[in-house]
Structure 1
């Protein structure tokens, strides 16, 4: 079982992926862990380092759940997954979820540091349906529509006890 969970920030990817990983005993990779420089806020690693980290995870684990919003990485992982899960609960749900986001110590030194980035995150999330970059709705939709394997789209927030 290799499950790929993706969508906008605040769509519930981390909660969904953690619940599936725990329930099924799967290795879990949050793509944030390989995209950003450790201990630095919003400093992206070199693309070749990111790609190598993703491939190393895929090669080292037989069963996994990977989650993230990064279209180019989602596209790469999609060719290895047995199930594609697109979380698409809408803009208002994503914005509201981000306001309730607990402290993520693997990303930020403190809750204050995390909250200092909230306005920028909300602006970025709000543009999800209008921009056309690799991390946008348009890119995510193309990946979902082109995927020939098992796939599901959730247009509403999914409770973790339902996965």
Structure 2
């Protein structure tokens, strides 16, 4: 099983990926950890560097669940995937999820740091349908439509 999960911020990608990876004893990879330099403000790593790090991380794993909102990283991985899951929730649902998100210590040093980032995140979520970048609904839909393997589009968290 090699699964790619993608959608807007707050759509439930991490929750679903963790659940699937535990159920199937699969390697779980969050693309956030491979997409950004550890600078302030954060800047994106080059596509080549990110892809090389991802390939090294999944090497030797027969099963994996990879999640993220980066269609530029997901698209090259889609040739290895058995399944795509597009979490296409409403913006309101994503906002609600983001507001109730527990502290993510792998992303933020403190709960206060995560909370301070929430207004920016809510704006980011709100712009999902109007943006036309690698993180946008348009790019996610194009990735989903182009995939010829098994694919699922979910419009609510299960």
| Aligned residue number for residue 70 of structure 1 | 70
Q: CA deviation at 1:49?
A: 1.9
Do the aligned partners of 1:39 and 1:109 also contact (CA within 8 Å) in 2?
no
- Which residue matches 2:125? 125
Deviation by residue 1:27-80 (Cα, 9 ceiling, x = unmatched): 000101111234866333333321111121233311100000001011111111
Please say which of residues 29-38 and 92-101 is displaced more in the overlay.
29-38
Corresponding residue number in structure 2 for 1:161: none
Give the aligned partner of residue 86 of structure 1.
86
Match of 2:26 in 1: 26
Whole-Å Cα distance in 1 between the matches of residues 19 and 54 of structure 2? 21
Match of 1:151 in 2: 151
Separation of aligned partners in 2, 1:59 and 1:12: 26
How many residue pairs align between the two structures? 158
Distance 1:10 1:48 in 2: 27
Shift in Å, 1:104: 0.7
Equivalent position of 2:98 in the other structure: 98
TM-score, scaled relative to structure 2: 0.94
* TM-score under structure 1 length normalisation: 0.91
Root-mean-square deviation (CA, aligned residues, Å) is 1.4
User: What SS does structure 1 have at the residue aligned with 2:59?
Assistant: helix
Unaligned runs of 5+ in 2: none
Other structure's SS at 1:132 match: coil
